[in-house]
Amino acid sequence: MTTLNFIEQGLRVLNIERQALNDIAQYVDENFHQACQLMFDCEGRIIVIGMGKSGHIGNKIAATLASTGSPAFFVHPGEASHGDLGMITKNDVVMLISNSGETSEVLNIIPVLKRLGAKIIAMTGNTKSTMATHANVHVCIKVEKEACSLGLAPTASTTATLAMGDAMAVALLEARGFTADDFALSHPGGSLGKRLLLTLKDVMHSGANTPIISVSQTVKDALIEMSAKGLGMTAIVDKSNQLVGLFTDGDLRRILEQRLDIHTTQIDLVMTRSCTTATQDILAAEALNIMEHKRINGLIVVNEQNQPIGALNMQDLLKAGVL
């Protein structure tokens, strides 16, 4: 039995595909610019079409374009020839993907696209192919060889195509001034959307659930409040309800080490006076960054008058899917 060196073969494949990515950098040229310009100026949708493995890659490219500010969708060439061409209008830009540039299922729909007046971008590995010849713009994705030892299975070529599609999508994202908030709007159901859209107002404990005691109260009162609200801390306020300090589990441990009487010790003698706060309108992701940077487990949320209106801890961010 022949001994199989999976590691050796895996590294060989990665080296070939790495070289393929280096090779296609030369094709990020004027044709690449023209293709991006066509998509940037598109008044309709970007339609991506490909067959087989190119179709799978095209589907991902269309999804990336759509989620980064360039409305796009994938159409299977076989379905296109049986009615789905009705989805395409003269205002659309159609991206045709084929390594050979001679895929019959794709070539069959080019005359209809021409008749419609839709602009065509071809992504192929052959600059003289039929598809390249009939496109408004041709973007080359030629690679020296496939990673498959037989030279048959699309491997390096599909990697190069996917990378070129990503390059286009990100170039368009930058040109459109697409922001993190824009991205979140197309990902409202996932953790990305939660990280980008949630504000502290959405996740904080507020109203009667906010841990607050008066500066005139004792450590015992602070412990009772902390236990009732379950956040491991309590805000300390003065007569005007303005925040003057914070008392946490960490402060309690220090008191116990000093053997202070929790029943008689005034909270203002042991509280943390310079505490980190936040406003309710900042993003939850920003609050997470603050807490990690300051190495703290909770935040008091204050209004413009520096009055506590809410509180949260790491557990709240975890439950909200921000962590």
Superfamily name and number for 6-178: Glucose-6-phosphate isomerase like protein; domain 1 (3.40.50.10490)
Taking only the tens place, the pLDDT of each residue in 152-171 is 788 999 999 999 999 999 99
Q: What is the pLDDT of residue 285?
A: 86
Q: For residue 151, count CB atoms less than 10 angstroms from its CB and return exposed for 0-12, middle for 13-18, buried for 19 or more.
A: exposed
Q: Where are the domains of the chain?
A: 6-178, 200-320
- Residue 49 near residue 58 (C-beta atoms within 8 A): yes
Q: What is the pLDDT of residue 321?
A: 78
- Residue 163 near residue 170 (C-beta atoms within 8 A): no
Q: What is the pLDDT of residue 1?
A: 44
Q: What is the pLDDT of residue 119?
A: 97
Which sign, positive or negative, has the C-alpha torsion 285, 290, 292, 296? negative
Q: What is the pLDDT of residue 275?
A: 92
Architecture of domain 200-320: Roll (3.10)
Q: Dihedral (C-alpha) 249, 255, 261, 265: value to the nearest 10 degrees?
A: -80
Q: What is the pLDDT of residue 150?
A: 82
Q: What is the pLDDT of residue 5?
A: 86
Average pLDDT, the chain: 92
Q: What is the pLDDT of residue 192?
A: 64
Q: What is the pLDDT of residue 173?
A: 93
Residue with tokens 């037989």: 150
Q: What is the pTM of this model?
A: 0.66
Residues of the chain with pLDDT under 70: 1-3, 181, 184-196
Residue with tokens 């005034």: 266
**Rounded distance between C-alpha atoms, residue 315 and residue 94, angstroms:** 47
Q: What is the pLDDT of residue 84?
A: 87
Q: What is the pLDDT of residue 41?
A: 96
Q: Is residue 263 annotated as involved in ligand binding?
A: no
Closest listed residue to residue 226, CA positions, set 237, 212, 238: 212
Q: What is the pLDDT of residue 187?
A: 65
Taking only the tens place, the pLDDT of each residue in 300-315 is 999 999 999 999 999 9
- Measured CA angle at 135 (ends 129, 141), to 5 deg: 55
- Residue 287 near residue 205 (C-beta atoms within 8 A): no
